[in-house]
Amino acid sequence: MPDATPFWGPDFDALAAEDPEIAEVILGELERLRSGLQLIASENFTSPAVLAALGSTLSNKYAEGYPGRRYYGGCAVVDDAEQIGIERAKALFGADHANLQPHSGASANIAAYGAFMKPGETVLAMSLPHGGHLTHGTKVSFSGKWFNAVHYGVDARTEDIDYDQVRDLAREHRPRMIICGGSAIPRLIDFTAFRAIADEVGAILMVDAAHFIGLVAGGAIPSPVPHADVVTFTTHKVLRGPRGGMILCKGEHAAAIDKAVFPMMQGGPLMHAVAAKAVALRECASPEYQQYAREVIANARALTQGLIDQGMRAVTGGTDTHLALLDLQGLGVTGTDAEARCDAAGIVLNKNAIPNDPRPASVASGIRVGTPAVTTQGMGIAQMATIAELIGTAVRDEDGTAGPEVRAAVTALVTEFPAYPRG
């Protein structure tokens, strides 16, 4: 093995010597992660191995194209990284084809539209205020500007996806593509029902699995892969990889997906990120990760119950996944106020609209919480009960008097269960 130092892996001393200003920012963010409770449902703590791949010289390489078919010389080494990642993704998810190049979840979704749709064609997807995503046809996104987006939502009584409405809208509008998945859906999605609806109207079925793919990777919830034409996702949520996107698809769509990622939507892939995705996929195949995925859900259920006990209403009554959506109207607190009060006490979560929210999204009546990060820290059911009490206290803390006490309890928790333990 050649000596890798100092050119491989994050070399913090070198950065601190050359650019103390940015080094301070990086240390500040590390301190923020270590000192607070991170409950944003879409965030997690990557492993040192993933961070090392991200900080590697693979960042230097231009590699437009795919392994064995590049537009630049010198790609043999990065070809190996991408091919290893592709094989790991196919094996982990039982997929015919994998593309590791999308720079983000939005990029992956843009490519899926590019592969299957022409401008002006119709897409049927979940509405953003009911739990969908910006790229699923909202007016401010390319998806709503370039395509005719029709939206389904949740049933008013169950607050779960209204499958009858999905079928009725599909029959009426004959969409070219149907999307399921989103960013605030606490319940499992019935992929069999979506497949049947897509087949009935001759639509492509796209599953945006960004939020829950890590639970699928860990074998903790059913997989969309056997049902969908294409599955898009981010690699940095429960999956615990680097920031980035990925696409899985049926073999018959492989060429269309690859062409849509490059050259249609992207140029050179970020090879350091591709290598880091490969590292994360290997980690996901371990028994430890499978156990982690189950614990994420158990923790989410315990946290949700604790928050219900604090007087919040869980949208859909609970959760089957890593996240929960809590309606705060019964407490007379807005999502914005709850987010700010928790933040002041070292608890990081986000305000979130609830289905049929009477308030604008910028204020919102709810909060969204997720357990991927705290579970990575090793916290379990007992800690979820404590966290729920702390959130309950912080959310009600109108004048900030309880802040120091909550902050002290947060410090005790993160000292016992550190994120990125100090050396």
Q: Which residues bind ligand DSN (CB under 6 A)?
A: 42, 105, 133, 183
Closer to ligand DSN by CB, 109 or 305: give it: 109
Long-range residue pairs from 60-67, CB within 8 A, at least 24 positions apart, any chain: 61/271, 62/268, 63/268, 63/269, 63/271, 64/262, 64/263, 64/267, 64/268, 64/269, 65/262, 66/258, 66/262
Closer to ligand DSN by CB, 238 or 261: give it: 238
Catalytic residue among 34, 43, 64, 389: 64
Residue 34 amino acid letter: R
- Of 152, 135, 153, the closest CA to residue 144 belongs to 135
Is 237 in the active site?
yes
Catalytic residue among 237, 277, 313, 407: 237
CA 305 to chain CA centroid, Å, is 23
Cβ 188 to ligand DSN, closest distance in Å?
Answer: 17
Catalytic residue among 34, 43, 62, 282: 62
User: What b-and-e string marks burial along 258-282, b requiring 16 or more CB atoms within 10 Å of the CB?
Assistant: bebbbeebbeebbbbbbbbbbbbbb
Whose structure tokens read 């392994």? 67
Is 234 in the active site?
yes
Cβ 124 to ligand DSN, closest distance in Å?
Answer: 20
Do residues 397 and 354 make contact, with C-beta atoms less than 8 angstroms apart?
A: no
Cβ 56 to ligand DSN, closest distance in Å?
Answer: 26
Cβ 362 to ligand DSN, closest distance in Å?
Answer: 15
Whose structure tokens read 């969409």? 175
Closer to ligand DSN by CB, 52 or 323: give it: 323
Closer to ligand DSN by CB, 38 or 42: give it: 42
Q: How many CB atoms lie within 10 A of CB 72?
A: 12
Catalytic residue among 82, 159, 160, 208: 208
Integer Cα distance of 144 and 166 in angstroms? 18
Catalytic residue among 122, 138, 232, 234: 234
Phi/psi region, residue 21 (left: phi>0; alpha: psi -120 to 50; beta: rest), is: alpha
Is 139 in the active site?
no
> What's the token pair of residue 243?
């920031």
DSSP 262: I
Cβ 355 to ligand DSN, closest distance in Å?
Answer: 16
State whether the Cα torsion 278-297-318-93 is positive or negative. Answer: positive
Is 62 in the active site?
yes
Q: Which residues contact 44 (CB under 8 A, 6 or more apart)?
A: 214, 236, 237, 238, 239, 240, 372, 373, 376
Cβ 376 to ligand DSN, closest distance in Å?
Answer: 17
- Of 276, 219, 271, the closest CA to residue 242 belongs to 276
Residue 387 amino acid letter: I
Cβ 234 to ligand DSN, closest distance in Å?
Answer: 7
Closer to ligand DSN by CB, 51 or 134: give it: 134
Active site positions, annotated: 62, 64, 208, 234, 237, 243
